[in-house]
Structure 1
């Protein structure tokens, strides 16, 4: 009796790719090599991906999409204000990253070239900006019309930089359960939303002290 071949899906390819990278500490040399090793065809690969590099981008995009999916499963989430939604996003997103930390650390720390690293995160950036558009409230838009100093696009770009800085902090965090990253998230999100309300001084000073202490005493 013939053995039924496993149906190849996007998720299966992603799982195979992450396992390959973790087992070999490098990405596959070619699509041919990757598909032959995993017993499926190049034609099946190209149904879902155009290049090996496109898998890397898709993985980080999937991390965001899984985060948003989990957030919407919480019935109370829709009642949260913007700040609470952002905090929920961060804590959920970094839980997912932590569950895949070996892979994330390996692929991000291998790139000394910051441009290549940012290119790998392009899918994450696009999905994150979609999330930000989703959580911006009418009250926020009305407030910014009056203040005219914190436009929606500025909010998106500032939040993206904040996410990258948080990711960098998490990559370097060696505290138990990454508790220092949790503190970083709480303080940085608080600063962001107080800046939007033009009342940042106390939180900005507190956040600055935290970062200064981490850099000085953890060298």
Structure 2
């Protein structure tokens, strides 16, 4: 039988996911993996350097698929940061649910320590970049070093929240994962309520006014 010639990155990801779900382990070698799926070994290396690279890419592929869906929505483009993040979460976890067997296979043994899991390193990078792109309103200190610390703290907190949601979803046995949907809505809304800087800014402005008036009176 002639070897398959037009092998894409997504083909290899699909072959890999099917293989590990059928065998419950990684392929022993790239050669054996390519032979089972009837393509030349070199085609694998055109896209990936190892099976570990494939595993990392699976999770960034879920992210990119999510962004592609969202960016096709005119409603999404008009949303504020809170509703954009809610939309991201719901769409991202729909993608995970469509591939739940593989995601559970990949993460089940690491769910108590997801934060240090190298498998999710690339996902963290693209997700925290996404958080930065939302331009979530923070208190302007007008001090570059403190502003950088605030932004870094926001990214790390958002990443930790995504990991918590991932752990919750892995353990969720409710119909249609409805408890995960509730968890997402409550956790994202709570985060934004905590970050709501409008009342704080009002207090700061009021304090400045009092301070200014006091100086003038003296």
TM-score when normalising by structure 2:
0.82
Indicate the residue corresponding to 2:191 in structure 1: 192
1:116/1:107 CA distance change after superposition, 3 Å: farther
Structure 2: segments with no counterpart, 5+ residues: 199-218
CA distance in 1, matches of 2:116, 2:90: 23
CA distance in 2, matches of 1:4, 1:39: 5
CA distance in 2, matches of 1:180, 1:159: 20
Structure 1: segments with no counterpart, 5+ residues: 200-219
Structure number with bigger Rg: 2
CA distance in 1, matches of 2:39, 2:2: 14
CA distance in 2, matches of 1:144, 1:169: 34
CA distance in 2, matches of 1:123, 1:10: 16
CA distance in 1, matches of 2:181, 2:14: 28
Indicate the residue corresponding to 2:203 in structure 1: none
SS in 1 for 2:141: helix
C-alpha contact 1:72 1:78 (8 A) present in aligned 2: yes
Q: How many residues align?
A: 195
1:117 Cα deviation from its structure 2 partner: 6.6
The RMSD of aligned alpha carbons is 2.4
Indicate the residue corresponding to 1:68 in structure 2: 67
1:97/1:79 CA distance change after superposition, 3 Å: same
Indicate the residue corresponding to 2:141 in structure 1: 145
1:112/1:87 CA distance change after superposition, 3 Å: closer
C-alpha contact 1:111 1:117 (8 A) present in aligned 2: no
CA distance in 2, matches of 1:117, 1:155: 18
Indicate the residue corresponding to 2:161 in structure 1: 162
TM-score when normalising by structure 1:
0.81
1:41 Cα deviation from its structure 2 partner: 1.9
Indicate the residue corresponding to 2:125 in structure 1: 126
